[in-house]
Amino acid sequence: MRKLILIICIGLLVPAGLFAQAPSGAGRVAVVDTQRAVTENSEGKKAQEKFMAELNKRQKEFEDKQKVMADSQTKLQNGDKTLSDAAKGDLAKQIDKIQTELQRMNDDAQKDLQDLQQQLFQPILQRAQDVIKSYSTEQGFAVVFDSQANSIIYRDDVADITTEIIRRLDASLAKTPTVPAAAPPKAGAPPASTAPKSPDPAKKQ
């Protein structure tokens, strides 16, 4: 069954070469996984849950509409000899209409989910950039590469500052959160399921 065609790419939020600074002489070099820094801190996890909840909702609506179309197609095929020409024509028009609605749903989901991604993750990304720059200045790093970049051939784990960046970002976000806390569930409502982890968007397919 066809699913929503959606590209989730937090990596696209990061300007190319943002952390790769030209060294002015000898200096230390480090790498950071911006994807992890943005999504694995406490606020990033909340943002992922909100994003995946909306994605799953749109996917469910899309699949429900697909089922209606599949049922109509089956009815048209099975009723080839029993349905009148007028009934067949009506079913064919209904199928065409649903196909148009599915395409519109897909297009709307693309735009709305990309807008939501920007809304949820851009503030966290900006804070992450500030933390990375501050930490790099403090530690005397001349160059900091994003570890998702294809130009990195080898790196030592000692040079990976991602875990420290997440720790400092958590501390910074604890003071002024960017993602509002989720509203408590209504009485009698079933508990929300754990949202699946979003795919790693920074990696090229």
**pTM reported for the whole predicted model:** 0.67
pLDDT reported for residue 12: 43
Residue 125's nearest CA partner among 45, 202, 34 is 34
Structure confidence at residue 181 (pLDDT):
54
pLDDT at 150: 62
What pLDDT digit, counting tens, does each position of 88-106 carry?
Answer: 999 999 999 999 999 999 9
Q: What is the pLDDT of residues 121-154, one digit of tens each?
A: 999 999 998 999 899 889 888 888 888 876 564 5
Write down the mean pLDDT value for the chain.
78
Both tokens assigned to 173: 């976000």
Q: Looking up tokens 């509002």, which residue turns up?
A: 180
Does residue 3 register a pLDDT over 60? no
pLDDT in tens, 48-99: 999 999 999 999 999 999 999 999 999 998 887 888 989 999 999 999 999 9
Helix (H) or strand (E) holding 146: strand 141-146
* Residue 8: pLDDT over 60: no
60-64: long-range contacts, CB 8 A cutoff, minimum separation 24:
61/105, 62/3, 62/4, 62/102, 62/105, 62/106, 62/109, 63/1, 63/3
Question: Quick one: tokens of 171?
Answer: 């501390």
